[in-house]
Structure 1
Amino acid sequence: MDFDSINSAIAEWTALLGDSGITLAESGELGASTIGARRSTPAALHPWNQEQVAKILETAQRWKVPVYPVSTGNNWGYGSANPVEDGCVVLDLSQLNQISDFDPEMGVVTVQPGVTQGALREFLDQQEGDYLVPVTGAGPNCSLLGNALERGYGITPITDHFAAVTKIEAILPDGSLYRTPLSELGGKEIDGLFKWGLGPYVDGLFSQGNFGVVVNMTLALAPAPETVTAFFFSTKDDARLEALVPTVREVLRTLGGSVVAINLLNSQRMLSMMIPFPEEKAVDGVLPADEAENIAHRHGVPAWSGVGAIYASKEVARAARRTLRRLLGPVTDRLIFINQRKVEMARSVARVLPGSLATRIQGMADTLSGALQIMNGAPNDVALALAYWRSGALPVPGQAKNPARDGCGLIWFAPLVPIRGTDARRYTEMIGRICPQYGVNPLITLTTINDRCFDSTVPLLFDRNDPDATAKANECYRALYRAGQEEGFLPYRLNVNAMDILNTSGTTYSRLSSHFKAAIDPNHILSPGRYVPSNNARSEA
């Protein structure tokens, strides 16, 4: 680390942003992370417009000081605001939070990096925009732009969030502005309506890449349907998994357009949403399989639970419910349909019931209401409670959940799994075999991202205050990756501690992406090591 260069760059950035626009990391560390990553970062910069971002990058190039942009820094389970490498200055884009160019007729909107799921929901409500926000379970304070660039997904109608991106504007590492060809030719409006533009699809370089700082992103929004009906199904018999999985595929193919995504959750994943972690039953932090089965039985939790939603008119929704009964009936023990009216009925019943029964029904109604809100494109932090399962009490009511701030230990292992019964079985057995060896409970969700492929999110939950537990959780990730590589189950995104999986692979991909990087960013000052192989260009310069 060249301290003279860093000090010179910081002096220029301070002149640009003012004292309030820069945070010095006197201790050598800046930012907390649920994965236990600890990076040495000289400073954090807080620009409030894209012109300042361009000048920041010009200064970074002049002094060859690496910078690492983050949208809101709430990238739970993947590194939060931590760079991949030490010595990077964090570029905090959360103050770039403008929403613009909303077209209520076409359903497109442009957002900056600091626009959160909650902010877009509030904006659409104020504009009477009858559209769904592309929500995730990460909570209302997380960036839409950051999630889309990471190729995040949800269960609302546009499942693949990068697929909803129609146009990108980015500041390149030399400070120049990248715009798509259609916009540069004068077609700004039509550019926002057509994803692929004209010529090579360069926008894709900015997804899971380090070729520029995206400052504006245009999104296509899904229109709110006439009805949204959640459906829940379950099977008590784990042996039915091989039959259930292809049936899920058949549901998506038969009801495509009205049923867009389905989640399958194993019993331990369901328990994590229902009860505090039973520490007294655990052995070295892990619930033994027979104990987990007994607890699940006592709480009425089946081997596998499923959830999805019907987005349709009333007539189509009625037909979809009949189809779901026909397809899922033979492979499930239970199938129910829930809408907001039924949730309110449950709350009314709870008010006249005694004691613990009333509390249980009210809690169930609150959970269902939260799930329905997400399905209706309204973000909330109900799902975020998972991060706290091993770390203790949730924040006090009214305080936003922040797993990094609150000491939660969470690493996401998120591999892709073919929607085949035999593959699902091989995969779940792999997770169940490896996780307990590292003190991690095997909590499994299988989420359809199309009718061919699941993404499975496995939360590696651990005690972040325990260095040994933190080390074992990171070792667990590596063990899962190695086993998945042998079995054909590879992750769709990586955390900041795992970028070397791509960076040291020596593949044609790594050589080609390195050539692109050298052409666009020869000094490797922008997000070094992020998805694209790093090098020692800065130290040699």
Structure 2
Amino acid sequence: MQDPSLYPDLKAVLEELKEALGAERVRHDATAPLPPAPNVSAFTSRDTRAVLRPGSVADVRALVGAFHHAKASGGELPGLQAVSTGRNWGLGSKEPAAGPVVRVELDGLGALRELDTEAGYAVVEPGVTQKELSERLAGTGRMLNVTASSGHTSVVGNTVDRGVGLRHQRTEDLLGLEVVLPDGSVAHIGWWPGDTSHGKGDGFNPLGLGPSLLHLFTQSDFGIVTAAVVRLLPRPRRQSTVRARFHREALAEAVDALRTWKANGLVSGVVKVYDTASTATYGGGDTAGGYVAHMSVEGTDRSAGALKAALLAEMAETGLFTSAAPGDDEQPPADDDVVAHVVDAAYRGSVAHNERMLASATGATADRVDADGNGWLFFLPFLPFDGASVVRALDILDRIHLATGIRPGSTVNALDADVIDLVVSFPFDRATQAGAAHSALDLAHTWFGEAGLRPYRLDSGHARSVVGGAAAEAALQRALRAAVDPLGVMAAGRYA
């Protein structure tokens, strides 16, 4: 742990910020790091010297400007680490990749600044949750690309960390960002409504002209994102969720069949496949049927009916699936099949059932997951969408189970006809299995990496500096960071 005396200038800056932001928005101990807070993944707590809770963009500018001024004057200060609602469960929650840091909690920026269901966008601050936004859209012709996580998670936080919704990866919905840069100035990046360059009546052009800057600020510590413009998707005229079961022996052929249907437009959105372990963790009812695939079939009244009839016929012809539920209103999921209820609603842009899944997985409500929840870790690689690749990945998970005693669960999220986001979860007892669970996570990084399958999101214990990557790309990213933040106002994050 770093000696607190190494930051003699921090106390003066924090006292200044108490005046500027209000004393209730600054929490610190002048002589030591703050006490460690629990996280559901049992990652080691890093040195956090203070917590700042701005209530407006002006507050964010003031605190960033204060740190920039102090560092420009030769002051020794930790870097700033920004979090949205802090519910990055399974990947470290609020924990930084390394300490010491001063954490900036952005859930106090909770404005839904603009909602345009005709044009199809919303301007949201980091404290806006997917529950809030999806409920505002109920009954309209637009919907949010929601995730299967808690409704109390941040839309902005998950989007800039490149999370995946039920329609596609959320970066596809990102139109623009408002960013407080390390010198305290504000920039609008990408498409912004009312901007003189990108007027509200213009077609969306998130890439702008010339080299695009938008994704300099996703998975990034180049500044603090204080708002985002997110695309709202057209709500299908008709939608139903077809569910099909199959056994492990049919895995490769079943995945290849799912790819054919996805590639040829029989199904829409993200195709989801839960294995037996993940079904049990998340509350999928009867797990005796093995694997369960969920597919959204949608369109107009006529086209959706025709697509579903074709899908069910082709499914029967394969002989691979032990059962199929057509998703009609007359045949809803069983009450205890939490997974089916969550997925069906989420395809329609609703998080009405998501808290039931969270409770099944962690035994806690959103506000108590880190304090009281069952242990939970994630490993999130991309795979090619083909049966052989999925079988190879699940064989690695079997080896991890044998080596550690921790049974991983896996959920296939087929993003398109070529790429799968494989969500690997490691549930564990925090009192007795934390060490084994973290050994399992370490093995996942090692063994998947040896197979050429690397994660697209990182946890606080496996930062970019640990898992590696292309050396030339990393060097260019470091050079860009040095140009944007030469004084090191922002703390180096997981992707630095």
TM-score by length of 2: 0.90
Within 5 Å, give how 1:122-521 maps onto structure 2: 122-125=135-138, 129-156=140-167, 159-180=168-189, 185-189=196-200, 193-236=204-247, 238-255=248-265, 259-274=268-283, 299=286, 301-329=288-316, 330=318, 331-343=320-332, 361-364=334-337, 368-379=340-351, 380-388=354-362, 394-395=363-364, 400=366, 402-466=368-432, 469-501=433-465, 507-521=471-485
SS of match in other structure, 2:274: strand
1:33 aligned to 34, 39, 45, which one? 39
| Cα distance, 1:195 vs structure 2 | 2.0
- Which amino acid in 2 is paired with 1:336? A
| Cα distance, 1:57 vs structure 2 | 0.9
Deviation larger for 374-383 or 43-52: 374-383
TM-score by length of 1: 0.83
| Larger helix proportion of the pair | 1
Work out whether residues 39 and 86 of structure 1, in 8 Å CA contact, stay in contact via their aligned partners in 2.
Answer: yes
CA deviation vs aligned residue, 1:106-154 (integer Å, no higher than 9, x gap): 11111111110011123224xx533212211211100000111111112
List runs of 5+ in structure 2 lacking aligned partners.
Answer: 72-76
Deviation larger for 56-65 or 168-177: 56-65
| Cα distance, 1:69 vs structure 2 | 0.5
- Which amino acid in 1 is paired with 2:324? L
| Cα distance, 1:436 vs structure 2 | 3.5
Q: 1:190 to 1:203 in 2, by over 3 A?
A: farther
- Which amino acid in 1 is paired with 2:185? S
Work out whether residues 381 and 401 of structure 1, in 8 Å CA contact, stay in contact via their aligned partners in 2.
Answer: no
Q: 1:115 to 1:200 in 2, by over 3 A?
A: same
Aligned to 1:112: 125
| Cα distance, 1:180 vs structure 2 | 3.0
- Which amino acid in 2 is paired with 1:47? P
Q: 1:188 to 1:36 in 2, by over 3 A?
A: farther
CA deviation vs aligned residue, 1:284-312 (integer Å, no higher than 9, x gap): xxxxxxxxxxxxxxx56223221121232
| Cα distance, 1:472 vs structure 2 | 2.5
Aligned to 2:53: 46
CA distance in 2, matches of 1:135, 1:77: 18
CA distance in 2, matches of 1:339, 1:94: 39
Aligned to 2:74: none
Q: 1:275 to 1:101 in 2, by over 3 A?
A: closer
CA deviation vs aligned residue, 1:27-50 (integer Å, no higher than 9, x gap): 633533122121221121111111
- Which amino acid in 2 is paired with 1:520? V
| Cα distance, 1:170 vs structure 2 | 0.4
1:59 aligned to 66, 73, 79, which one? 66
| Cα distance, 1:517 vs structure 2 | 0.8
| Cα distance, 1:172 vs structure 2 | 0.6
1:18 aligned to 22, 25, 37, which one? 22
Aligned to 1:282: none
Q: 1:161 to 1:506 in 2, by over 3 A?
A: closer
| Cα distance, 1:192 vs structure 2 | 7.5
SS of match in other structure, 1:459: strand
- Which amino acid in 2 is paired with 1:324? L
Q: 1:530 to 1:191 in 2, by over 3 A?
A: farther
Q: 1:449 to 1:527 in 2, by over 3 A?
A: farther
CA distance in 2, matches of 1:226, 1:506: 44
1:93 aligned to 93, 97, 106, which one? 106
Q: 1:382 to 1:192 in 2, by over 3 A?
A: farther
| Cα distance, 1:16 vs structure 2 | 1.3
| Cα distance, 1:504 vs structure 2 | 5.5
Displaced runs of 4 or more, over 4 A: 181-185, 500-506
| Cα distance, 1:99 vs structure 2 | 1.0
| Cα distance, 1:193 vs structure 2 | 2.0
Q: Equivalent pairs: percent with the same residue? A: 23
CA distance in 1, matches of 2:284, 2:238: 31
Deviation larger for 60-69 or 416-425: 60-69
| Cα distance, 1:444 vs structure 2 | 1.4
